[in-house]
Structure 1
Amino acid sequence: MKYLLDIFLLPILLILFYLESFVKLFIPKRRKSVAGEIVLITGAGHGIGRLTAYEFAKLNSKLVLWDINKNGIEETAANCRKLGALAYPYVVDCSKREEIYSSAKKVKEEVGDVSILVNNAGVVYTADLVATQDPQIEKTFEVNILAHFWTTKTFLPVMMANNHGHIVTVASAAGHIAVPFLLTYCSSKFAAVGFHKGLTEELVALGKTGIKTSCLCPNFIKTGFIKNPSTNLISTLEPEYVVEKLMEGILTEQKMIFIPASLSPLLKLERILPERFLSIVKQKINVKFDAVIGYKVK
């Protein structure tokens, strides 16, 4: 009898929650303060990581900046200091687990306990599977997903003890939909989206509701990582716009941040539309970029 009652109540709850979500669309979301928080950003020596560091600096956060490029990370730190923030640069290769662990230990000793972690470092190789070298495949997974495990694993325990923190996963729209000649990258970003979702559910199961999670999933960005990207549907994004939306998502504690927002309904449609129709749509969208093609028809 209880089972039947639960089944009867589910549609009612669904309607109520839809109404609640609709009403919230018209209520400005409250932004949290990150002043005084220790924010660690990987891949902060350029691009999205650098611009994100600048935004946190403006909000009086204390910055811990990681990047494999010494000159890049020091330049980011210097500019953050000009904005009035404390900034600590560390040269870290995020493809190496032990280097992540040893650098994290230094951060704890020299700066303090990280309360906001932005897993941003990433690499991409534009090529078909045949042309992608084995070390490139390994590097992609080491940086784009395995590093997320090592950084989160080392900084999460203190967040859990305090039931306070925020873990940001920088993924991609390519973590939801596959793109030819980005096989390795897409696979790693699918894993990053899964990492975010799995971690979110695990924190809820452990009762650590004070630790928030966000996942950034943008379309192509003009950062130079992918050469000459274009589509017929969605324009290539400016890095400044992406970071603006990312910060808005972090400060309002959004779990999934799609940029542009129209990506979300498009990705939902992909699950229900017929495969042949989707094939035609993808041809019309016509995603293009420079890539190495190793397979040749003989």
Structure 2
Amino acid sequence: MIRCFILIAAYIALHRAGPPLLNFGDSLPLTWAQIKTLHRGLQWSLALWAIYDFNSMLNRWAENRWLFQTDKRTWNWEQEIAVVTGGSQGIGACVVKKLAFHGINCAVLDVAPLSESFTNDELRLVHYYRCDITSHTDIHRAAEAIRSDLGPPSILVNNAGIGNAYTILDMPMENLRRLFEINLLSHWSTVQEFLPDMIAKKKGHIMSVASLASFVSLAAAVDYSCTKSALLAFHEGLVQELKHRYKCPQIKTTIVHPNWTKSAITAHPAIQAGLKSIGAKLLEAEDVAEAMVKQVIAARSGQLILGPSISPKIRALPTWLQELIRDSQANVVSGNGSTG
């Protein structure tokens, strides 16, 4: 914020000073017209930089629910409890390990057992609850056990997700339902279970893993794209309800949009060949987890774009440009099968 006002002040000073500010006599072998052009260019550059910085400041303020201060000091990591869905393997396991590094107790909800990558020191802070997140009853049962064993969680990371590789006409309905239940509907169940305690304490952080597919629909992965764009709507609505229905803007929310990441989904032959054909560089699960946990520890809300920064702006581009971008990704997903 301070830098933004310094830039604005510098622009005003440069504007009032006029071209003589740049007239250093013989030290600059420039004509008067060139000096005026340079001065004008500096003015515009400084103005654009100030506008960019001011816009960034407003974005951060909006993400912080129009609050000027963060409540980072209210977080005591060794006393916090985090719930991570799909935390046994992949990105979820990396998130759990990094949260445990900060002393946070972690409750893992997963149908798969914990991977062998967890060390004995980490396992002292990691608690596994076998849970089918497609079942509201299973989630409620696990939530009751977590509250009894550890206490009410203050951090919820909805990480679990799967993919399919079917066209719309070839999609088996049971695969479609399962994907929507895991990638989207489970978020309602987990938030319904854990948000009330956060509201009561006016402290919490809800994070969900979406994808760059939130902004670009992929052929043969329409179901996946639908759930990820729906997650973006879910988080926007959640923020509004926290502010205007529950009067609790202190609760943080983050939605994460990673680019293609090394995982069970991208290891599937139906995806692997397509990614290779476009020369895609895959993110490491460790790097995605690092960005997610850094956001939690900073006690910040927001939208993490782990890929091309233009991704959220694609919908604002002319239609022909949007279509060219979608065309370039049309053959990434091929073949048939479930990728998760």
TM range (shorter): 0.7 to 0.9
Query: Residue 114 of structure 2 aligns to a residue in which SS?
Result: helix
**Which has the larger displacement, 143-152 or 203-212?**
203-212
1:257 and 2:304 aligned: yes
Change (3 A) 1:224 1:74: closer
1:236 shift after superposition: 1.8
Match of 2:85 among 42, 47, 50: 42
Q: Which sits farther off after the overlay, 229-238 or 42-51? A: 229-238
Partner of 1:236: 282
Q: Are the equivalent residues in 1 in contact too, given 2:82–2:155 (CA < 8 A)?
A: yes
In structure 1, C-alpha distance between the alignment counterparts of 2:289 and 2:258, rounded to whole Å: 10
1:281 and 1:106, CA in 2 relative to 1: closer, same or farther beyond 3 A?
closer
1:22-33 aligned within 5 A: none
Trace 1:267-282 onto structure 2 (pairs within 5 A). Answer: 267-268=312-313, 270-282=314-326
SS in structure 2 at match of 1:95: coil
Q: Which residue of 2 aligns with 1:90?
A: 129
Given that 2:218 and 2:333 are in contact with CA atoms closer than 8 Å, whether structure 1 keeps it comes out as no
Q: Tell me the amino acid that sits aligned with residue 114 of structure 2.
A: I
Residues in 1 aligned to 2:325 and 2:186: alpha-carbon distance in whole angstroms: 35
The whole-number CA distance in structure 1 between the counterparts of 2:255 and 2:165 is 23
CA positional deviation for 1:38? 0.3
Contact 2:96 2:126 in 1 (8 A): no
**Deviation, structure 1 residue 141:** 1.0
Change (3 A) 1:183 1:142: same
Q: Comparing 181-190 with 280-289, which one deviates more in the overlay?
A: 280-289
Secondary structure of 2:191's partner? helix
Choose the corresponding residue for 1:21, options 53, 56, 73.
Answer: 56
Question: 2: CA distance between counterparts of 1:90 and 1:110?
Answer: 11
What CA deviation, in whole Å up to 9, does each residue of 1:61-80 have, x standing for no partner? 011111101xx32646xx25
Deviations 1:246-291 (A, max 9, x none): 222222314101102x33x2331x2233222332344345651343
Offset at 1:202? 1.0
In structure 1, distance between residues paired with 2:185 and 2:329: 32
Aligned to 2:15: none
Paired AA for residue 115 in structure 1? S
Residues 201-228 of structure 1: CA deviation (Å, up to 9, x unaligned): 1111132122100001111111021330
- Structure 1: distance between partners of 2:227 and 2:328: 26
Question: Paired residues, what number?
Answer: 269
Give the helix-richer structure, 1 or 2.
Answer: 2
Structure 1 position 22, deviation (Å):
5.7
Structure possessing the higher radius of gyration over alpha carbons: 2
Tell me if 1:246 matches 2:286: no
AA of the residue aligned to 2:205: H
Shift in CA distance, 220/116, structure 1 to aligned 2, threshold 3 Å: same
Partner of residue 168, structure 1: 207
CA contact (8 A) 2:216 2:326 kept: no
**Alpha-carbon distance in structure 2 between the residues aligned to 1:17 and 1:274:** 22
Unpaired runs of 5+ residues, structure 1, are 1-14, 294-298
Contact 2:215 2:311 in 1 (8 A): no
CA displacement at 1:24 relative to structure 2: 9.7
Compared with structure 1, are the counterparts of its residues 251 and 20 closer, same or farther at alpha carbon in structure 2 (3 Å cutoff)?
farther
The separation in 1 between residues aligned to 2:311 and 2:193, in whole angstroms, is 36
Q: Secondary structure at the match of 1:45?
A: coil
Whole-angstrom CA distance in 1 between matches of 2:189 and 2:232: 16
- Structure 2 gaps, min length 5: 1-49, 61-69
Identity %, equivalent residues? 25
> 1:5-56 CA distances to partner (integer Å, 9 max, x unpaired)?
xxxxxxxxxx98952626999xxx9976633210110101110110000000
